[in-house]
Structure 1
Amino acid sequence: MPGIPHNNFFFKGDSVHVPCLSDEQRQHLPHKPLELIFTNVTVTIQKRFILKDVSGIVKPGELLAVMGPSGCGKTTLLNCLAGRIKLDSGIIRLNRERLNKRYKRKICYVLQQDIFFPDLTLRQTLQYAALLRLPDSLTYEQKMQYVDHIIDVLDLTSCQHTIMGDYMNRGLSGGEKKRANIACELLTNPALMLLDEPTSGLDSHAAYHLMSSLKKYAENENKTVVVTVHQPSSQIFHMFDKLLLLCNGQTAYFGDVNKVVDFFSNIGLVVKPHYNPADFILEQVKGSEEMKEKILQASRDARILPDYPHELRTELYENTICHQYINNYNHNRHNRINGHVQTIQNAPDLWGNNIIHAKSHSRISTTPIRSPNDLCVSICQTHSPDSNTCVYTALPMKEEETKSFWLDNESHASSSVSSSDYDFSWQWPTCFWTQFKVLSRRNFQEARPRMLSTLNWVQTVALGIMAGLLWFRLPRTEPAIHDIQGWMFFSTTYWMLFAHFGALYSFPSEREVINKERQSGAYRLSAYYLAKMVGELPLTITLPAIYHVISYPMLGVHSTKVFFLLLAFLLLNTIVAQSVGFFIGACCMDMQVSVTISAIYTLATQLFGGYLATNIPPWLTWMQRLSMVHYAYQNMQIVEFSEGSPIECAVPSKFDVCKNSSYIPVSEILAMEGSSLPLWLNTLILFVFLLVFRILGYVVLRYFRRPK
């Protein structure tokens, strides 16, 4: 691909090599490598432990596998790491800082379900994702280069023009959908990838190919990758750098994959030769309660061994140690060096019981402490006895605390910059106008095959011809009034039902995609909502317009004005019905409930529309005010009977006005059906229906159906 070398496209080390981008454009894309540390994570739901005291660490370039039987809490842990579930206790840190909104922008979460718009091709899906999630500082051509590179890296070139597909329309295979799911997230160049069961539903070859790509991505791009897997093959199992084995929501093992066999051997559970270790350990954690407790106890005992990660040691989070340094810090808080740091003379040895002398450059942040119960400061910087690398440790602080606690040897200027990052306010990757344009185009492209399908075209043309033939060339006489009204009422009710249930049935599948994209922070809900109304508007009015063009001239066109006014009220009624369907679909999560509610409302709308029943009991007249068909139907009568040739009276006539006149005025025709509202008021009420249901739909999505 010209302009961007494939092997230097993404983040490598401390820089990004994308020659075609300016410095201003680059700063939006590269992410600093993230070290993920989660300690003592506990989650309870309805007083039942889902996760209990789960800890782990993953460094850049490593691939962590979370394994365990079904129901052990793998997905819940991933949701916690993504910041989608509130913890009952525990800490999640990225580069020693609390998980916050700023870091959520650097995390991608690939769901287990492959949720896409089925009628878009793979390339179209990636193009829209790039246009929405890559910053506006990049040109369209540069964003498309990103798409080309992702397709090439994940070996999707041969299927890029294939539709995503669903259970009705065949599209991508399972493995291709999995890679497409990952490709959408890789576009933003995330520093941390969380993948829930990426190999589920794949054959062994596809699963191996996928995991091999993830392994290379983690190593070559210096990314942190966490995956949940249920029962991997031995080939896939040995790809993992680290393993977190869960049992009943607790840690059964955490450490290097190549040491898990020794761990089980030490407690008397020996793996047979040529036996898949993944199968073996899953069999053990699914054994008896005594066996489970034995494994869990061995895991707890392993936490005090010298090779256990010091970042996860429980003594770092004991209040006694914390309070020692709080007291020391409070005593010397007025003797700061340059107002920023305080030298520590002694620090506890993190790997033993001896006290070691800290280096002269060891420092601790002096962010003011409100009280010993509010905050624990960082302990110290020391050196591992078996390594020359520096070790940076931090202590827990209250969830609402927002200050950074960095311990490093860099200048204080850089530390202050790091702290200032917490003043970060959420910024969307693209502006509102960009989101609106892209989403409008995508909604149009996605909905067109569904709304303007071949079957819908055939149905519309056939119905228009049948309606025109049934009411062909009706005379302008009193006996024909009922037939003319029949065409009006049939047209309004049919297209009301068509648009209403079309919106209702299309919303559940679309809602899943929108929820996934909203969780990833791809765009504003307001931009999506306005784009949906604008993008689908041409599709919504196309078929009713074709029906009207075919059927009404066959009845007899009296004037161009009448033709277009009738068409306008027919389309307005159709759009209002679609708004009601969208609102009900947003409110009801259960499809059967939404269909039932819609059936009751639409049938009531027809009954009180003014054609099927004219002698409505006084105590039910309020129902007529809620019928959208009533207002459109009355408007069509006003327009039709006010223009063109007047309606001739019959002999005998049921209209009293015919005793003194040969023609029936429109007011008498409307009075026969009990309607007295003028044209402008009927139109205004229809627009009120449209606005109210559109606004209610937005309120429901914004406040009541927010993605969890």
Structure 2
Amino acid sequence: MDDMEKLASGDFINLTNSSVRSFGWENVTVTVKDRTLKRPTDILHDINGIVKAGEMLALMGPSGSGKTTLLNVLARRTEHIKGETHERLFINGRHTTGREFRKIGRYVEQNDSLMSALTVKETLHFAARLSLPSSVSKQDRMVRIEELLASFGLLNQANTLVGGPVQKGISGGQKRRLSVASQLITSPKILFLDEPTSGLDSTASYEVVSYIQNIARKYKLIVIASIHQPSTNTFQLFDRLLLLSQGKTVFNGLVQDVQHYFDNLGRPMPIHMNPAEFMLDLVNVDFEPNSRQASLELHKIQRSWKESPNANVIVDEILHATAETCTCEVTTQDGPSAYMVPFTLIHRSFIKSRRDLVTYWIRVGMYMGLAVMMGTVWLRLTPDQHNIQSFINAIFFGGAFMSFMAVAYIPSFHEDRSLFVKERANGLYGPTSFMVANFITGLPFLFLITVLFSAISYWLSNFEPTATGFMMWVLYLFLDLLAAESLVILISSLTNIFVVALAITAFANGLWMSVGGFLVPLVELNVFWKYAFSFMDYQRWVFQGMLVNEFKDRTYDCGRLANGDCQCMYVTDLIDQCKIDGKGVLDTYGYKTGQEGKYLCIIVGIIAGYRLFGWLALYLKRT
């Protein structure tokens, strides 16, 4: 059978032979400490359920009912739940380890964590490279990708950018479908969806759920989705419903039995009303004027379910699945070779950095504008004593403001971080691979920025006119930018809130400018600021190194009085020649020559420290 025949038949995606027949859970309870009541409180209490291959289950309930918490427990993503969790989860009626479960299940977040600069097809391509075993050939990967594009109606958008705030791309509904498709690339057996229709209109919501239903039916996939308030048409696409309120079950069973159940309960459903809307209104007591009476009614509904024959049917189904435990092994597959993951991430990040205007190219324009401004403000400074301070000012400005403008990288890193959190939760890779790829990808772009900026500003300003002086300037400025971006990454790893990251980064840069030795020479700096912050200030060492680079081998003409006598602002050994040795300028700042290697090592150490703490922040934080 050739590739097109495989694509047409769908046999390549091996879900048709899946050994997962059912997924059940019993007595799921999550207990947290209520800070107001000062006692343990169940946010989920004794939840049972089962879904069979090819079925879709809707988790519904008012806000705060426990939908997302239950979804995370079922998906074995309990590291974020700040409480005590009790559950019994079954695959084909038997327990499985968390490691095995991660290999057969995939979780789609509520928010679409996609890389805006990639095309639809590239998104699936990199998802395949990061999750499929190395034994799967490139040709086989492409067949699988084409199958998913066709199944989710994305063939016409295959070469369209995903898009974001700056670059327009595919629609919101198409992004949702792409998010789901990227998780299906590994042919999982169970798919968890957190609010798959969030932010979509009713038409787009129906479209997304309909595509998922087709995949579930065709490949016997188990789908569990939390969903807020679907339209009637969307609601009827689901096979089963688990309705929660205040952490307890209100209904759990087939969607087709909903109306009959509530009719028997004495809560008849109006003929022309959306069933989902009716049920949510029935079990939501947050906005009732008589909250006590509403709570009593809700407890009555919850008790009615617990005592109903329908509840026993669910328990019987779980017990029946347990009694008929499948003797076959649940087939799982390992991911790609560990050493290949960083290369894949580097490739993906490089494509993004090359295409995404926000990542580097807007910054290139900003830095070029800054270089022209700097070069023309400090235009062709002559080497005489009246321009010594101007040279010093220009060195400070070039280093400090190049560093400060690295804040423009925050939005791009936050996008990468969001994608990393999602892919890490699905077990694709960890913070080490992510940080290594980020560091390597940034090097050529930061070096390009440095060279372009220096080629303009250095020669226009007439700094030390030697090749060695220019190369050392480029080296210091490159390390300055690398340190600034490393600081941005550290802060942005600690918080994913743009305004907070921006404020902290701006404050840190202001601090480094203040204690860097320019505004107040280090020999005069307050002892506290000098020893508490100055030594860890990369801008200090960049300024110090660039100052030594400019003044160590250069001389400056002194002025002359009206009578022809020489008048030098700095007294050095060259006063008899009516010149100033640049080393005399360095002496006023307390800087020595011959220590350039030390400066460079300290800057590199600071960069490594920022990256290490950024890695630690990502390692400890999982959201």
Length-normalised TM-score, structure 2: 0.88
Compared with structure 1, are the counterparts of its residues 174 and 51 closer, same or farther at alpha carbon in structure 2 (3 Å cutoff)? Answer: same
TM-score (norm 1): 0.78
Could you tell me whether the CA contact under 8 Å between 1:128 and 1:438 is conserved in 2?
Answer: yes
CA distance in 2, matches of 1:570, 1:305: 69
Give the Å deviation of 1:245.
1.5
Q: Displacement, 1:126?
A: 1.8
Instruction: Give 2:85's match in structure 1, choosing from 79, 82, 88.
Output: 88
Q: Does 1:668 align with 2:577?
A: no
**Equivalent residue, structure 2, for 1:289:** 295
Maintained 8 Å contact 1:63/1:215: yes
- Is the CA contact (8 Å cut-off) linking 1:452 and 1:539 kept in structure 2? no
Aligned partner letter, 2:322 = T
Does residue 1:522 correspond to 2:428, yes or no? yes
What is the CA–CA distance in structure 1 between the aligned matches of 2:488 and 2:231, rounded to whole Å? 47
Q: 2: distance between equivalents of 1:39 and 1:268?
A: 28
> What does residue 164 of structure 1 align with?
162
Per-residue CA deviations over 1:217-249 (Å, capped at 9, x if unaligned) read 112101111122222233233322222121221
The CA RMSD over aligned residues, in Å, is 2.7
Letter in 1 for 2:20: P
Equivalent residues of 1:11, 1:222 under 8 A apart: no
Contact 1:432 1:524 in 2 (8 A): no
In the alignment, does 2:419 pair up with 1:513? Answer: yes
Shift of residue 659 of structure 1? 4.0
Q: Which digits, 9 at most, give the CA deviation of each residue in 1:458-480, with x for residues without a partner?
A: 43333222322222322222222
Deviations along 1:611-668, one digit per CA (max 9) or x if unpaired, are: 322362452433432322221122223223344x633344311322244454433432
Residues 58-69 of structure 1 mapped to structure 2, 5 A cutoff: 58-69=51-62
Specify the structure having the higher radius of gyration (Cα): 1
Tell me the residue number matched to 1:321. Answer: none
Distance 2:311 2:120 in 1: 49
Question: Which structure 1 residue ranges, 5 or more long, are not aligned?
Answer: 16-30, 314-390, 395-405
1:120 is displaced (CA, Å) by 2.5
Amino acid of the structure 1 residue aligned with 2:7: P
The correspondence of residues 270-289 of structure 1 with structure 2, limited to 5 A, is 270-286=268-284, 288-289=294-295
Offset at residue 301 of structure 1 (A): 1.7
**Shift in CA distance, 617/261, structure 1 to aligned 2, threshold 3 Å:** closer
Say whether residues 1:102 and 2:110 are aligned partners.
no
Task: Specify the alignment match of 1:656 in structure 2.
Answer: 571
Cα displacement string for residues 297-327 of structure 1 (whole angstroms, at most 9, x for unaligned residues): 22112248874551446xxxxxxxxxxxxxx
What are the equivalent positions in structure 2 for 1:113-128 lying under 5 Å apart? 113-128=111-126
Instruction: Quote the residue 2:618 is aligned against.
Output: 701
Aligned residues: 589
* CA distance in structure 2 between the aligned counterparts of 1:595 and 1:200, rounded to whole angstroms: 28
Deviates more, 1:70-79 or 1:262-271: 262-271
Structure 2 residue 153 is the aligned partner of structure 1 residue 155: yes
Structural mapping, 1:496-511, within 5 Å: 496-499=403-406, 501-511=407-417
- Which of 441, 464, 467 matches 1:560? 467
| Equivalent position to 1:646, from 555, 560, 574 | 555
Q: Any idea what the Cα deviations from partners look like across 1:182-208, whole Å, max 9, x if unmatched?
A: 111111111001112212322232222
Distance apart, 1:13 and its partner CA? 7.1
In structure 2, relative to structure 1, the CA distance for the partners of 1:610 and 1:602 (3 Å cut) is: same
Q: What is the deviation of 1:276?
A: 3.5
Matches within 5 A, 1:407-556: 407=325, 429-448=335-354, 449-451=356-358, 455-499=362-406, 501-556=407-462
Shift of 1:180: 1.0
Partner residue in 1 for 2:129: 131
| CA displacement 1:255-300 (0-9 Å, x = unmatched) | 2222222211222222333444333333322363343233222211
- Counterpart for residue 299 of structure 1: 305
Counterpart position of 1:4: 6
Structure with higher helix content: 2
> Equivalent residues in 2 for 1:51-62 (5 A)?
51-62=44-55
Match of 2:547 among 610, 634, 637: 637
Residue 218 of structure 2 corresponds to which residue in structure 1? 220
2:518 maps to which of 611, 615, 638? 611
Deviates more, 1:612-621 or 1:682-691: 612-621
Pairwise CA distance, 1:104: 1.6
> Matched residue of 2:267: which SS?
coil
Q: Helix, strand or coil for the counterpart of 1:97?
A: coil
Q: For residue 19 of structure 2, what is the aligned residue in structure 1? A: 32
Residue 105 of structure 1 aligns to a residue in which SS?
A: helix
Rate the CA distance shift 1:10–1:260 in 2: closer, same or farther, 3 A: farther
Partner of 1:583: 490
Quick one: which amino acid aligns to residue 209 of structure 1? E
Q: CA deviation at 1:573?
A: 1.3
Q: Find the residue that maps to 1:490 and give its secondary structure.
A: helix
- Following TM superposition, by how much is the alpha carbon of 1:153 offset from its aligned partner in structure 2, in angstroms? 0.8
Q: Could you say if the C-alpha distance between residues 608 and 282 of structure 1 is closer, same or farther in structure 2, counting changes exceeding 3 Å?
A: closer
Structure number with greater CO (CA < 8 Å, separation at least 6) is 2
For the Cα contact (< 8 Å) 2:30–2:45, is it kept in 1?
A: yes
Deviations 1:68-115 (A, max 9, x none): 222211111111110012663231111223242111211111112112
Q: Percent identity?
A: 27
**Are positions 1:50 and 2:43 aligned together?**
yes
Residue 371 of structure 1: aligned partner? none
Structure 2 runs not aligned, ≥5 long = 34-39, 286-293, 560-565
- Check if 1:77 corresponds to 2:70: yes
Q: Select which of 240, 247, 250 maps to 2:248.
A: 250
Match of 1:207 in 2: 205
8 Å contact kept, 2:48–2:314: no
**Residues 193, 225 of structure 2: 8 Å contact kept:** yes
**Cα–Cα, structure 1 residues 564 and 267, in superposed 2: closer, same or farther, change >3 Å?**
same
CA contact (8 A) 2:92 2:325 kept: no
What displacement does 1:173 show? 1.5
- Output one character per residue of 1:148-199: Cα deviation in whole Å (capped at 9) or x when no partner: 2211110012223333233454332221111011111111111001112212
Q: Hey, what's the Cα distance between the residues in 1 that align with 2:239 and 2:513?
A: 65
> Do the aligned partners of residues 282 and 564 (structure 1) sit closer, same or farther apart at CA in structure 2, a change above 3 Å counting?
same
Cα displacement (A) at 1:34 = 4.4
Residue 579 to residue 646, structure 1, CA distance change in 2 (3 Å): same
The structural deviation recorded for 1:11 is 4.9
State whether residues 196 and 225 of structure 2, in contact with CA within 8 Å, keep that contact through their aligned partners in structure 1.
yes
